[in-house]
Amino acid sequence: MPETASLTLPDGRTIELPVIVGSENEHAIDISRLRGETGYITIDDGFMNTGSCKSEITFIDGEKGVLRYRGYPVEDLAKNCSFVETAQLLIWGELPTPEARRDFSDLLTENSALPEDFRRHFTAFPVHAHPMSIMSAMINALQSYDLPGLIIDDEEEFERVSGALMSKVRTIAAAAYKSSIGEPIMYPRYDLRYVENFLHMMFSKPYRDYVPSAEATAALNLFFLLHADHEQNCSTSTVRMVASGQANMYASVAAGVCALWGRLHGGANQAVMEMLSFIQSSGMSVKDYVAKVKDRAEGIRLMGFGHRVYRAFDPRAVLLKDACDKLLNAMHIDDPRLEIAKQLEEAALSDDYFVSRKLYPNVDFYSGIILTALGIPVEMFTVLFAIGRVPGWIAHWKEIYDVPSTKIYRPRQVYTGSVRREWLNRFQREKGYTDSRGFKVPEELRPTQAPQADAVPPTN
C-alpha cells in the first residue's frame, strides 16, 4: 500500500497526497495534484523544503556531511580519480572504461582551441572587465560558432558538444585572464592533460613555458573535482530552469555562470580571501573580528561559513583543508592568511553563536588559500569554480532532456500587490480624482468632462 500524507484544509476538506521515497530513503510529499484539486498552492521562501525535481546525479545528506556523485563517496573519487573521469561519471552515470577515457580525452584535446575570430571578442571587453562577465558572455557566444541543434537527441552529438564546452570553458577562462592583464592569449597545447593545459594557458608566455609542479596539478584537480556537482544549488537550479524551456546547452550553462557569480554562492571564495586579507592588513585580532560578526550591526558574515544543506560539516572543506596543508608545505609557502583561517575556524567552532546555528566551514573557506598558492588571482576564483561545475551543469541539462515528463519550470506565487484598480487619465491622477478603492476628491475639483486620454501624449 503506497504511503500517503493527508492534508486538512481550513474549510475542512482533506486531501490524500502521495509520499515519494528516494533511493536513500528521503521522504517527500508529492503535491502535484494539490492546486488542481483544492485551489491551494504551497509557499516556501528560498525553497528550504521544496524538491524541484527527482534526480539521479548527486546525493547529499547535510546532517551527516555526506556527498556522493552517482553513488560514489566524494572522498573515494578525490583519492582515486581525475576531474575528467569524475566529469564522465557525472554526465554519463558510470566511471569511464579506459577506452571511453581515451576517447573523451582526445575529444577534449581536439576541442580545446577557440575559433580564431572568436578570440577577437576578448579584445572588445574593457581591460578591467570581471572575468566572470567575460566568461558568461563568451560561453553564450559559443552557440553562434558551434550551432548544435537546439535539442540534441543524438548521443554522439551530445558527447561532442559536452566535450567542446568542457574544453573550451577552460580556454575561455584563461583567455579572459590574459586579456585582463594585457598579455597575449595562449593557445592550448595538444600534449598536456586537462589541468596542466589550463595552468599552461594561464601562466605561460609566448617566450616562456610554465611547467606546473605535480602538487599544483593535483591540488587544482581536487579543487575542480570537489566543485563538479552539488545537486540543486542556486546555479544548477538556474541551469535546469533555463533548460526546462528547451534552451540550448551553451545558453543554459552561461546562465549558470551568472547565477554562480553572487557572493552568497560561488563568489564566496573571493569574499573569504578578501576577509582574510582584511584581517591581516588591519591588524585586527581574530577574536575581535568574530565579535564583529556576532554583533551583526555591520551586517558582516563570516565568509566561508554556513551552508543551506550541510548542518554537520562540509566534506569538501575537510578534503580541501588537508590538501591546503600539503600544498603549502610542498611549495614552502608561509601564508599568514592560512594561520588566520585556522584561528577563525577554531574560534567559530567553539563559539555558541556558530555552534547553535550549525555554521561550519564550507568549501570556499580553504579553497581560496589553495588558489592563491597556485598564483590564481582573486578575481579568477569564481571562474575556476565555474570550470569545475560545468560537468555537473551538463549532467543536469541532460537529465532535463532525458526525462520525457519534464515540464517547463514555472513556479506559482502568492500575490501581495494592489487589488484591481481603475485606470485614471493623467488629469484625474493629478487632481487626486477617485478610484475604485474609495479615495474621493470634492465634487468641485472634478472635471466636468474628463479627457479620455492624456492631453499631452507621453514621449516615451
Ligand X SMILES: CC(C)(COP(=O)(O)OP(=O)(O)OC[C@H]1O[C@@H](n2cnc3c(N)ncnc32)[C@H](O)[C@@H]1OP(=O)(O)O)[C@@H](O)C(=O)NCCC(=O)NCCS
- Interaction site with ligand X (CB under 6 A): 264, 268, 293, 301-308, 357, 359, 362-364
What own/partner pairs with CB < 8 Å and gap ≥ 24 does 340-349 have?
A: 340/276, 340/279, 340/280, 340/286, 341/272, 341/276, 341/365, 341/366, 341/369, 343/286, 344/276, 344/279, 344/286, 344/289, 344/290, 344/302, 347/286, 347/287, 347/290, 348/290, 348/302, 348/305
Least separation in angstroms between CB 374 and ligand X: 20
CB closer to ligand X out of 142 and 271: 271
Ranked by CB distance to ligand X, the top (closest) residue is 306
Residue 208 CB contacts under 8 Å (≥ 6 apart), including other chains: none
227 is catalytic: no
DSSP 24-67: T--EEE--TTHHHHHS-----GGGTT------SSEEEETTTTEE
Nearer to ligand X, 48 or 419 (CB): 48
Question: Residue 6 phi/psi, 5° resolution?
Answer: -105, 140
The residue (of 96 and 368) whose beta carbon lies closer to ligand X is: 368
Query: Using CA atoms, how far apart are residues 92 and 398, in angstroms rounded to an integer?
Result: 9
> And the C-alpha cell for 224?
575542480
Output 221 or 382, the one with its CB closest to ligand X. Answer: 382
- 192 or 302: CB nearest ligand X: 302
Q: Rounded to a whole number, what is the largest CA-CA distance in the chain?
A: 89
Judge residue 197's burial from the number of C-beta atoms within 10 Å of its C-beta, 0-12 exposed, 13-18 middle, 19 or more buried. Answer: buried
Q: Which one from 227, 230, 307, 396 is the annotated catalytic residue?
A: 307
CA distances from 260 to 239, 248, 292, 385 (A): 10, 19, 27, 8
Q: Which is nearer to ligand X, 124 or 264 (CB)?
A: 264
- Whose Cβ is closer to ligand X: residue 242's or residue 302's? 302
Q: Which of 146, 229, 314, 364 is catalytic?
A: 364
Task: Give min distance, CB of 92 to ligand X, in A.
Answer: 26
**Can you give the C-alpha Rg of the chain in angstroms?**
26
Residue 30 bears catalytic tag: no
**Strand pairing partners for 147?**
none
For residue 309, the surrounding DSSP H or E stretch is none
8 A C-beta contact, residue 199 and residue 210 = yes
CA atoms within 13 A on the CB side of 50: 13
Q: How far is the CB of 301 from ligand X (least distance, A)?
A: 3
For the bound state, the minimum distance from the C-beta of residue 224 to ligand X, rounded and expressed in Å, comes to: 16
Active site residues: 307, 364
